[in-house]
Amino acid sequence: MSKASPSSSLPVPPAPALLECVHTSLLTWYAAERRDLPWRTTSDPYAILVSEIMLQQTQVDRVLPKYQQFLEVFPTLKTLAEASTAEVIAVWVPLGYNMRAVRLQSIAHQVISEHAGRIPDTIEELLTLKGVGRYTAGAIACFAYYKQVATVDTNIRRVLHRIFLGLEHPEPRANDVQMLILAEQALPPGSAYDWNQALMDMGATICTSNSPQCDRCPLQTSCQAYAEMGQYSLFPSGAILRRLRKVAEKKSAYKAQPFTSSNRYFRGRIVDLLRTLPAGQLMVLEELGPKIKTDFSKEELPWLQDIIARLVKDGLLEVTEDGVRLPWQKIT
């Protein structure tokens, strides 16, 4: 098995015999077990773009109904661009991370103004769209235009790492650049679409982060992580991964800020609270603060005002002399 450390400039390409075995096993499994997802029945670049933006930080089950609804209201890039931001966000709710809706509409404006309304088909051009990163660019190029390109999301990263490099804990053995290189090395000729979809399905259903079902995995005999877990137990399981992860967390001196103490958390709380107001009703900051933070004090008012200002800048909030409200609350 080949391994690469974060200090390596390039990962060692997997052996051809190993690649052939992994390709055959995974693609055969995918042909029989692939998930029935609506964005897999279209090659419309706009629909693919919508699905990819929605799937960022959101589970498939939550995206499915909203994806269909969003495309019914905004069936084309043009209809999305011509809508008001408030209308777009109103349809997006309650997916969360509403800034994604703003970013999606911004991409629509840019495509119309700079690309004559046609979403680009190359990674290089796609990366010029504000808010489109390497994964999304690769997904659009592959899934909409059937380009033979690799792309790496959370599931793909985990599956490729475990197969070819081993366990990702106590620390990953490849950084982002190296993982993309590995993904390109592992790409089967002429099968990029099925391969990338298969990796995502494998990571979402079997090779999960905390509880991999190794006993059901078609890649068991080829997987470096499975072999490594066998050193800890005769029956590799998620318990081993969780134990290794806890060891890594204890060794780390850095303690991340709890999400419930983050500004992102309180942004979401503000939007969720204001959504419960009747259309046209506003809420003053002095009343808003204690409702989103039980120990809120007057000294924290500048902090709350800063969050409000950022929400206004993002088009997610409206401020008047009488208080704050969501822009789409005026829509009836």
Positions marked catalytic: 52
Structure tokens at 317: 């909030």
Beta partners for residue 288, in sequence order: none
Length of the chain as a residue count: 332
Residues 6+ apart with CB under 8 A from 285: 301, 304, 305, 308, 323, 324
Q: Mention every residue, 6+ apart, whose C-beta is less than 8 A from residue 148.
A: 142, 187, 189, 190, 192
* Alpha-carbon gap, residue 89 to 316, rounded angstroms: 8
Q: Are 53 and 106 in contact (CB under 8 A)?
A: no
Q: Residue 246 and residue 323: Cα distance in Å, rounded?
A: 45
33 CB-near residues (< 8 Å, 6+ apart) = 201, 205
323 phi/psi in degrees, rounded to 5: 145, -160
Q: Is 57 exposed, middle or buried (0-12, 13-18, 19+ CB in 10 A)?
A: exposed
End-to-end CA distance of the chain: 61
Distance of CA 202 to the CA centre of its chain: 16
Cα radius of gyration rounded to whole Å, the chain: 23
